[in-house]
Amino acid sequence: MDSNWNYPTTIWVGEGRIKDLYLACNQLKFKKPLFVTDNDLAQSQMVKEIIKDLNQKSLSINIFSNVKGNPVGSNVSEGVEAYKKGNHDGVIAFGGGSGLDVGKAVAFMSVQSRPIWDFEDIGDYWTRANSDGIAPIIAVPTTAGTGSETGRASAIVNEQTGVKKIIFHPKILPSIVILDPVLTVGLSPKLTAATGMDALAHNLEAFCVSGFHPMADGIALEGMYLIKKWLTTAVKDGKNLQARSNMLVAASMGSTAFQKGLGAIHSLSHPVNSLFNVHHGLSNAIFMPYVLTYNKKKIEHKIIKLSKYLELKEKTFDCFLNWILELRIELKIPHKLSDVAKITTKDLDKLSLMALEDPSTTGNPKKLQLKDMKIMYEHSLNGQLF
């Protein structure tokens, strides 16, 4: 499946393509890139071999790995300090969504004088940035979920407020992406399932949000088709490189498609991720059926179209919903939010306000108010669909 694509950026796809990382560095004229990843991966044999290979080819590599699962602002500021101290000339962002998001944010913030929170994805805040000299980025995902490698934003938690912020700038988009399924083989079934459902949530919400963007819709449809065909195989047979490769591609497609927008699945997830440290893909999977049923009147016609494309037995909203519910059971995804986080009714007011103010909320097909967010949280806690 070796392929080179140029949409939305340069993407090199195929088994063993990590061997081309040096070529990517050479193409971008990296001599001393900062390798950003999480601490577990930094200690892995896989990363040690990659760094050794690059060093043997006369590149000077330093690793920055102080990256949390739900990354925080201090991870970025420490990374920027390491970038400047090491006089680096580019970033290799390596890993799951956390490593990729921090790596991208470090490259972006390496030339900024304003706080990172001034560049939240609101209106034209991105125009505040100094666009000159933003460090070029090579992105190498090791999970098939976030699609951050093809995104123009980073999700970072503000430690002072506990709010997950989406930091946006067009130049955060990596210059070269390497999609190598071999790098994802070691991912556990549990994480394969959660990240795969994250990719599904991205494609699904992009397809369902309001607005005219046929290109995004087409990408999202095919992304979901690939997920339907390959996710369970990737979970059950982690060494199946065809399944791993297709899931990597579907994840990148999801991030490309959600340039159109996201919805309540994500706005409900972000507060839970930042305050209760729940894995983002897992929370998206849990919220999915509650948001689908809450939005039913606005999205039923789209779900019928999607059901046809996915070749479901019946081309109906209920058939699609049942497929989601059955998929979650097969992947051992909990049905209720209360199964993964100790959230009480006292927490709901704060969570609901954070969710309402999340940028993803504005893209939801059904216009949402504070009471809507609280109702969806309540249903996700007790397991009752609408």
Per-residue pLDDT for the chain (386 aa), expressed as one digit of tens each? 789 999 999 999 999 999 999 999 999 999 999 999 999 999 999 999 999 999 999 999 999 999 999 999 999 999 999 999 999 999 999 999 999 999 999 999 999 999 999 999 999 999 999 999 999 999 999 999 999 999 999 999 999 999 999 999 999 999 999 999 999 999 999 999 999 999 999 999 999 999 999 999 999 999 999 999 999 999 999 999 999 999 999 999 999 999 999 999 999 999 999 999 999 999 999 999 999 999 999 999 999 999 999 999 999 999 999 999 999 999 999 999 999 999 998 999 999 999 999 999 999 999 999 999 999 999 999 999 99
Q: Note whether 197 and 329 are same-domain residues.
A: yes
Chain-centroid distance of CA 293 in Å reads: 23
Q: Note whether 144 and 236 are same-domain residues.
A: no
* Cβ neighbours for 84, distance < 8 A, ≥ 6 positions apart: 110
Predicted TM-score (pTM) of this structure: 0.95
Q: Last residue of a domain, which of 183, 217, 247? A: 183
Distance, CA of 260 to CA of 253 (rounded, Å): 12
Q: Note whether 177 and 189 are same-domain residues.
A: no
Distance, CA of 100 to CA of 94 (rounded, Å): 6
Q: Note whether 356 and 222 are same-domain residues.
A: yes
Q: How many CB atoms lie within 10 A of CB 161?
A: 11
Q: Last residue of a domain, which of 141, 158, 183? A: 183
* Cβ neighbours for 9, distance < 8 A, ≥ 6 positions apart: 150, 173, 174, 175, 176, 177
**Residue 300, domain extent:** 185-382
Q: Note whether 84 and 158 are same-domain residues.
A: yes
Q: Note whether 124 and 194 are same-domain residues.
A: no
Q: Last residue of a domain, which of 128, 158, 183? A: 183
